[in-house]
Chain A
Amino acid sequence: MRETTPREDLLRGIWKENPVLVQLLGLCPALAVTNTVPNSIAMGLATFFVLLGSSFLVSLMKNWIPAEVRISAYILIIATFVTIADFVLAAVVPVIHKELGAFIALIVVNCMILGRQEAFASKRPVGRALLDAAGTGAGFMIALLMMGTFREILGNGSVMGYSLFGDNFEPWIVMILPPGGFFTLGFILLSFGWWKDRQAETSHVRQWPHGVASGEEAL
């Protein structure tokens, strides 16, 4: 695999290989809990924390984890951090914890997190793994925030609960319901693809190979 610079490791996940918008990973929470901005932030932060902690531990212990049981070990590490995040959210923000419900526990099976362990953290030094996790986690949070803002504005006429349009606005209830998640994701992916095409047309110098992810990192 091609050597990457620390800067690339950090920035790659935020935009060029954004887990949701480009790699299409972690779509379950991205569709399910982005109906409001607070929910998106809570889910983004919880996932960020789990990803950072798991990447740190996996990278730290990569030489002690036998290859045969590596997936079990990764899942164990991820599940530990998810349980911690679950307790912390329940203790600090019980309302949001209740709103997110089962989706907190389901962070364990977010393939984005396991993917980063298998593809990156288990092969790289701790520092790089942390940079990659921070970038990917931030990218995930950005994607969730984009969806959450879009859906809350249209579906509820508000941002963070603050009403934007006054009483005459008729909210598009469908946007905060599950179909709204698909509409929003489709719309954002469409805009994203259009923007990338424009970029490719106008720019001849590209820093990274175009595409979803380099071959060995795609799961």
Chain B
Amino acid sequence: MKELPTVQADGGSSDSGPPRAPQVASVKLMATLAVAGAVAGLLIVLVFQWADPQIQAHRAAALRAALLEVLSGPASYRSLYVSPAGLSMTPPAGVDTVTAEKVYIGYDDAGDVVGYAVTGGEPGFQDIIQLIFGYDAGQGRLLGMMVLESKETPGLGDKIFKDLDFVAEFQGVTAPIKGVKLGAGTGADNEVDMITGATISSRTVIDIINHRLEALGSALEEHVPEPPPPPSASSAEEPPAGDEGEERS
């Protein structure tokens, strides 16, 4: 610390100097940081331009794997667009297919609806938690939950996806879910034990699911399912071409 190329010739800090000097200095200080910030921003944007398509492709692949997981391996699935009028297979007018809000409907081998996969995200303890869950609208039950993205504290908050007991609790739980402290449950169908030491993270997971089901309202219950897609067009094993772009979350 003592060999800095400092310009403080008086030996005092810049605060105690004459009022004139710091003003000149502060302009320079701000200019330095502003220029550095601008250059840094430019660099980051350039790298992001290159990396973003690949990151999106990985994300789409992960989302596809996750929705198969939370619907317990459906034979096929479709994307449905969410609009105030309900769910439809065609995007509402004037909405970009990439950014449109979507849910996914899964079918079993016989062509019956298994359930809906819904994504959602809300701020957790560190950053936004993104998750997907499967929902059986007829019975009002969850089929499963999987965290897609989170930066929760390693060792504590990350138990929302590393603690398999916690993840397994979302299979078969009825909505709206009620989070209870470990051991305080009454055995009701809608209770999920929260993780000790990760209350905020586990509370957020439960909130995301409840809020998403609330926001979708009765759209899922009222939705009249279309027949499953023909096997060649959109089977689970072989997603249609151009799906990468469409499946962005």
Contact = CB atoms under 8 A, between A and B. Distances in A.
A120 to B, nearest CB: 11
B47 A84 contact: yes
B157 to A, nearest CB: 9
Contact of A101 (B4, B6, B158): B158
Given A87-B55, A102-B126, A1 B3 contact: yes
A154 interface: no
B151 interface: yes
A76 B7 CA distance: 22
Contact of A67 (B5, B33, B151): B5
Nearest to A94: B58
B36 A91 contact: no
Nearest to A1: B3
Contacts of B8: 67
Contacts of A76: 33, 36-37, 40
Contacts of B44: 80, 83-84, 87
B151 A102 contact: yes
Interface centre among A1, A62, A94, A118 (most CB of B within 10 A): A94
Contacts of B40: 76-77, 79-80
B43 A80 contact: yes
Overall SS of chain B's interface: helix
Interface residues of B, number: 36
Contacts of B33: 69, 72-73, 76
A118 B7 CA distance: 17
Given A66-B25, A83-B44, A84-B47, A32 B154 contact: yes
B51 interface: yes
Interface of B: 1-8, 14, 25, 28-29, 32-33, 36-37, 40, 43-44, 47-48, 50-52, 54-55, 58, 62, 126, 150-155, 158
Interface of A: 1, 32, 62-70, 72-73, 76-77, 79-80, 83-84, 87-88, 90-92, 94, 101-103, 105, 118, 122-123, 178, 216
18 contacts: A63-B5, A66-B28, A67-B4, A73-B36, A76-B36, A76-B40, A83-B44, A83-B47, A84-B44, A87-B44, A90-B55, A90-B58, A91-B51, A91-B54, A91-B58, A122-B4, A123-B3, A216-B3
